[in-house]
Amino acid sequence: MKIVVLERNSVGLDVSVNGIREYGDVTEYPNTTAVDVKEKIRDAEIIVANKAPLSAEALEEAKNVKLICEFATGFDNVDVEYCKSRGIKVANVVNYSTDAVAQHTFALCLYVLEKLHHYDRYVKSGAYAAQERFSNFDIPYTELAGKTWGIVGMGNIGKKVAGIAQAFGCKVIFYSASGNSTCTDYERVDFDTLLAESDFLSLHCPLSDKTRNLIDLDALKKMKKSAILINVARGPVVNDEALYTALSEGYIAGAGLDVTSTEPMKDSNPLSKIMDSDKLIITPHMAWASIEARQRCVSETCKNIEAFLKGENRNIVNL
C-alpha cells in the first residue's frame, strides 16, 4: 500500500511513527496545507492526516485512495459524505487524549483560581524574602470543594473531568448541547441553569452548528461574576470578542483557554491584549499533547490501518 502521512510533525518529532511503515510504502511530509495537499495525495492509497483539508476538490484526482486515517478524534477536515460516495473509509482515533485533556483542564483552572502567576512572581521578585511574616496571601483565592462545576459535553473527557471535580468536592452539573446525552451519573440542566449555577464551567463538546458561539456575550453575562471559564474543546465554541469584553468588564472572574477562534491565534484577537495572567491564561492547543497521548494516537492509527487491511471496520466514521 502507498501510504502518505501529510502532517508527520503534528504528533511531535519525539514520538516515532515508524510503526506505520509495517503496512506499506510510506511518504512523510512535515506539514501540509490546502495549497499542496492535492499533489501530495495524488497516488496515495492510504492518507494519514490531521488538519490538512481533504475536500472533494482535493480528493477528486486521488483515484486510488481507499482509507483516510486521522491523527485525531475530530474529522471535520474531511468531506466524509464525498468519501462515502466513493467508498473511501475515514477512521479516527478515540479516547487517546482523555487523561491529558482532563489534567490540563484543572491545570488551567487552578492557575487562575489560585493566582499562581502572581505568587510565583512575588517570590521570585524578592518581595517574599524581604518580608518579615512567613506567609503572603494578598490576593484571596477559594477552594474547589463545595462549589459547582458545570460541564458542556459529557463524553469521555467530560466524564473524566466530572469525576476529578467530584474528588475535589464539587457538585457536578452538565448541559447537553446536542440533546442526545444518555449520561445519568450527573445532574443534567438547561443552559441558563448551567450558566447561573456554575462556579467553574468547562467546555468539552465538539464544534457544531449548536455549539458555535455557544458562549457569547449574553451567556457570559448570565454567569457568576466569580466564575472561571475553561475551554479545552474548540475555539469557536467561545466568542473571543465577547470573552474579552466579559473579562475586561468583570462579568466573570477569569478564563483558561487552550483553544481560540483561529489557530495559531492572530495578533488581532482581542484576547491578546489581556496581559493579566491572574485573569486569563492561554496555552497553544496542547492540552491533548502529553507524550503518552501522542504515542497512543500513533498506535491507534496503526491499529486502524491494520484492521482495514484485514477487512475490518475499526473507528470508521462514515459507514
| Catalytic residue list contains 234 | yes
Q: Residue 247: which residues within 8 A CB-CB, separation 6 or more?
A: 254, 255, 274, 279, 280
* Residue among 39, 60, 263, 312 flagged as catalytic: 263
Distances (CA, A) of 61 to 35, 123, 232: 14, 60, 36
Distance CA 33, CA 25 (A): 22
Which residues on adjacent β-strands are paired with residue 244? none
Distance CA 158, CA 144 (A): 17
Secondary element (H or E) of residue 281? strand 280-282
* Residue among 86, 118, 285, 314 flagged as catalytic: 285
Quick count: other Cβ atoms within 10 Å of Cβ 182? 6
* Residue among 8, 234, 294, 296 flagged as catalytic: 234
Which residues on adjacent β-strands are paired with residue 46? 3, 67
- Strand-pair category, 148-152 with 200-203: parallel
Q: Is the peptide bond before 206 cis (omega within 30 degrees of 0)?
A: no
Tally helices (H) and strands (E) across the chain.
11, 12
Which residues on adjacent β-strands are paired with residue 150? 173, 201
Supply the DSSP symbol for 187. Answer: E
| Catalytic residue list contains 285 | yes
Question: What strand order describes the sheet that includes 2-5?
Answer: 25-28, 2-5, 46-49, 67-70, 89-91
Cα–Cα–Cα angle for 312, 317, 319, rounded to 5 degrees: 65
Residue 101, all three cell numbers: 485533556
Q: Residue 187, CB half-sphere, CA atoms under 13 Å: how many?
A: 15
The phi-psi region of residue 250 (left if phi > 0; otherwise alpha if psi is between -120 and 50; otherwise beta) is left
| Catalytic residue list contains 263 | yes
- Residues marked as catalytic: 234, 263, 285
